[in-house]
């Protein structure tokens, strides 16, 4: 009889008159990836939350090539556990998880101080549907990417999300119930500001109480009331942000005095909108500094 041993517990045995046979080590289900603590790294660390282990490994390989370190979580529970012990630069998230849907997980993260500002890039076959459904949630997502995954878009989306947090981009609340206008406006200003959305007065009031905004871009015609009704809530804040009215109808001079600027949608070019927002933000910052 002879026996040969290899690494990882693999052994090959044979009797002289018998065909060789194998003994394999017992398969152990891999656990969620734990943060690497043995060596320091100056690369941003990203949490990959994806229940498909092959896709999770693919994402981590893409991130490694793009200059990121990463950990994997295969469920919402594992993601929350890792987030509780590690400060991540960003997170990728599939919307379909075994123990909780992705939108519910995002809502949980945004309700916690530690993860309220965490950049999240959704990577999901349901990204388009999720973005539409998510539009009615008082929450924020840095980017939405469809599967199959485009490596360049993934790396670029994470870099933009992380850079936006690092550079302290101004945060704008866009109160608008038209999804197309939301998308167009966000695309116009994406390089200098972060947009979050509210489609109703109720959602806008909730968002204003949750965090501070540098500017409010406000439509006047909203489900359940007029945009003017939101001014009382804005004025009641400790640091009221300036308001730019962006509406389909013209307003009177008296009404215009209540806002930092008034724009009529049909009469406003992309450049005019961009320059107006930048001007109002600069004036708002100058006013804040003068009060210090």
On the CB side of 74, CA atoms within 13 Å amount to 12
**Is residue 77 scored above 70 in pLDDT?**
yes
The domains found in the chain, sorted by start residue, are 33-167 (3.40.50.2300), 169-292 (3.40.50.2300)
Give residue 285's pLDDT.
62
**Is residue 119 scored above 80 in pLDDT?**
yes
Higher pLDDT, residue 2 or 260: 260
Give residue 130's pLDDT.
53
Mean pLDDT of the chain: 80
Higher pLDDT, residue 157 or 92: 92
pLDDT level of residue 289 (50, 70, 90 thresholds): very low
CA-nearest of 218, 221, 189, 190 to 205 is 218
pLDDT level of residue 1 (50, 70, 90 thresholds): low
**Is residue 288 scored above 90 in pLDDT?**
no
Give residue 4's pLDDT.
47
Which of 21-35, 166-180, 215-229: highest mean pLDDT?
Answer: 215-229
What residues are paired with 262 via a beta bridge? Answer: 245
Higher pLDDT, residue 97 or 130: 97
| Percent over 90 (pLDDT), the chain | 39
Give residue 61's pLDDT.
95
Give residue 69's pLDDT.
93
Give residue 225's pLDDT.
87
What separation in angstroms does the CA of 25 have from each of 5, 9, 11, 22, 29? 12, 5, 9, 10, 12
Count CB neighbours of 217 within 10 A.
26
Q: DSSP for 218-279, please give it.
A: E-SEETTEEGGGHHHHHHTSSSPPPEEEEESS---HHHHTTSSEEEEGGG--HHHHHHHHHH
**Is residue 171 scored above 50 in pLDDT?**
yes
**Is residue 292 scored above 80 in pLDDT?**
no
Give residue 168's pLDDT.
63
| Percent over 70 (pLDDT), the chain | 76
Give residue 286's pLDDT.
52
Write out 41-87 in H/E/C secondary structure: CCCCEEEEECCCHHHHHHHHHHHHHCCCEEEEECCHHHHHHHHHHCC
Give residue 110's pLDDT.
84
Query: Stretch 72-82: mean pLDDT, rounded?
Result: 96
* Nearest-angstrom CA–CA distance, 18 and 65: 48
What separation in angstroms does the CA of 153 have from each of 59, 183, 208? 12, 18, 31
Judge if pTM exceeds 0.75: no
Give residue 284's pLDDT.
74
Give residue 40's pLDDT.
47
Give residue 129's pLDDT.
59
pLDDT digits (tens, 9 = 90+) for 26-74: 655 545 444 443 344 568 899 999 999 999 999 999 999 988 999 999 9
Lowest mean pLDDT among 10-14, 39-43, 144-148, 171-175: 10-14
Q: Are strands 221-222 and 225-226 parallel, antiparallel or unpaired?
A: antiparallel
């Amino acid at each position: 009889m002879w026996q040969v041993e290899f690494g990882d517990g693999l052994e090959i045995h044979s009797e002289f008159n018998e065909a060789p046979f194998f003994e394999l080590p017992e398969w152990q289900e891999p656990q969620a990836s734990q943060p690497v603590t043995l060596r320091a790294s100056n690369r941003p660390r990203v949490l990959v939350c994806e229940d498909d282990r092959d896709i999770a490994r693919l994402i981590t390989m893409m991130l490694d090539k793009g200059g990121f370190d990463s950990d994997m979580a295969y469920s919402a529970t594992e993601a929350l556990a890792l987030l509780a012990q590690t400060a991540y630069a960003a997170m990728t998230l599939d919307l379909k998880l075994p123990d909780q849907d992705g939108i519910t997980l995002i809502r949980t993260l945004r309700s916690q101080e530690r993860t309220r500002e965490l950049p999240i890039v959704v990577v999901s076959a349901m990204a388009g549907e999720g973005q539409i459904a998510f539009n009615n949630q008082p929450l924020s997502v840095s980017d939405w990417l469809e599967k199959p995954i485009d490596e360049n878009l993934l790396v670029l989306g994470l870099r933009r999300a992380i850079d936006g947090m690092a550079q302290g981009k101004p945060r704008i609340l866009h109160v608008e119930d038209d999804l197309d206008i939301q998308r167009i406006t966000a695309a116009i200003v994406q390089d200098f500001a972060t947009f979050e959305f509210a489609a109703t007065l109720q959602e806008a009031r909730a968002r204003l109480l949750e965090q501070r905004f540098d500017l409010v871009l406000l439509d006047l015609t909203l489900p359940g009331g007029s945009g003017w009704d939101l001014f009382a809530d804005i004025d009641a804040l400790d640091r009221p942000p300036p308001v730019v009215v962006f509406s389909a109808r013209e307003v009177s001079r008296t009404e215009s005095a209540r806002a930092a600027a008034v724009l009529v949608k049909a009469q406003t070019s992309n450049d005019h909108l961009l320059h107006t927002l930048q001007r109002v933000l600069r004036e708002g910052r100058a006013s804040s500094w003068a009060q210090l």
